[in-house]
Structure 1
Amino acid sequence: MRDLLLFLKSNTLALVGLLTLLLLVGAITIGPWITPYTPTKLDILHKLEGPTFAHWLGTDAFGRDVLTRIMYGGRATLTIGVGVVAVAFVIGVVFGMLAGFTGGWVDSIIMRIVDAILAFPALVLAIALAAAFGPSLQNAMLAVAITLAPQFARVARSQALSVSVKPYVEAAVSLGLPPQRILFRYIFVNGL
C-alpha cells in the first residue's frame, strides 16, 4: 500500500486517472439512487436539449436524461466487465497453475489447448462461441471469458514454474504434503 501511495504521489497522471475512475465508479454505483429521472421515461417536449442545470448532459431524441441513462447503463456494463474478467481469471489461473506445477503431459495438453485458443482472433472466437452456446447474456459473457482465460493461464503458468523451484516448495514436497495443498497453499498464494 505504501508503494502505491508513493507511486501515485510521484505520478500525477496516474493519480488523475485513479480519481477519474473512482468518480465514474461512484457515479455508476450511487447515481441511480440520487437522480430525479428514470432512464426510460419519455419527455418529448424536452428532446435534444443541450446541457442545462436540469439535465447536466442534455437529453436524447426522446427527451430522456442522458446522464441518468449513462449511470443506469454503466451499472450493467461494470457488472458484465467485472464478471467476465473474474471468470477468465479463475479459469486461467487454475489451469495455468496446474500446468506449471504438475508439468509433463498435463502441462503439454493444457498449454496446447491454450495455444489453440490463442491462435484464433479473440473477437471471432468469442462470436463463434456465443453463437454455439446460444443467445443469452450469460453465454456471451462465458464466451468472452473463455477467450480471455488463455492470457491469464500463460502468466499463471510462468509464475507457477518460477515459484515451484523455491526452497519452501521443495521442503513441502519432501515433507510429503498433498499436491493440492502445495498448489493452493504455496504456489497459488506466492505466485500472485
Structure 2
Amino acid sequence: MSLSDGRRGHADETRAARIADIVRRESGSLLDYFARRTSSREDAADLLGDTLVIVWRRERAVPEDAAEARMWMFGVARRVLSQHRRSSGRRHALSERLGHYLRDSERPPESAEAGDVRAAIAQLNEGDQEIIRLVYWDGFTLAEVAQLLAMNPATVRSRHARARTRLQGLLTPAVGEEVR
C-alpha cells in the first residue's frame, strides 16, 4: 500500500464519519419536513430513506460547511418530494382512468355455472388456485406457469392434474343429485 492510498483511505473514513454525523443531526428535521408535506408518516419515512440513500451515494458532493450541508440535504429532500408527488399524480391519474374504463365497460352477468366454478376453485389451496387460473383464465401453458411461478415443470404438471381431479369431483353432481 502506498502512502497516497493510506491518505485516501483516511480521507474516505473522515468523509464517511462527517456524513454520518450530518445524517444523525439532520434526519429528524428531514423527517419532519416530509411529514408536514405528505399524507402519512409511512410516506415521510420512505422519502427520508430515499433522501439518505442519495446523500450517501453522493457523499463527495456534500458541502464541508455544516450549514451548507444542511441546505444541500434539504435541496435533495425537496427534489425527492417533488419526484414523489409527480409519480403519485401519475399513479392517481392512471387509477382514475382505469376506474372509468372498468365502470364504462359492461361485464356480462355471471352465470350460475361460473359462480359454481369460482366457488370450487376457492376450495383449492392457494398454489393450485393460481395454477388453474393461469392455465384456464389467463391462457398460459403448464411450462409457462412453471416459469412464472419459478417451479419445476413436473411439479406444476402434477399439481395441475391433482387440482383438475379435485375440481371435477367438486363440480360433478353426486349420484342421485338433480342436475340444474
TM-score interval, smaller chain: under 0.3
Normalised to the residue count of structure 2, the TM-score between the two structures is 0.26
Larger Rg: 2
Higher RCO, Cα 8 Å, sep 6+: 1
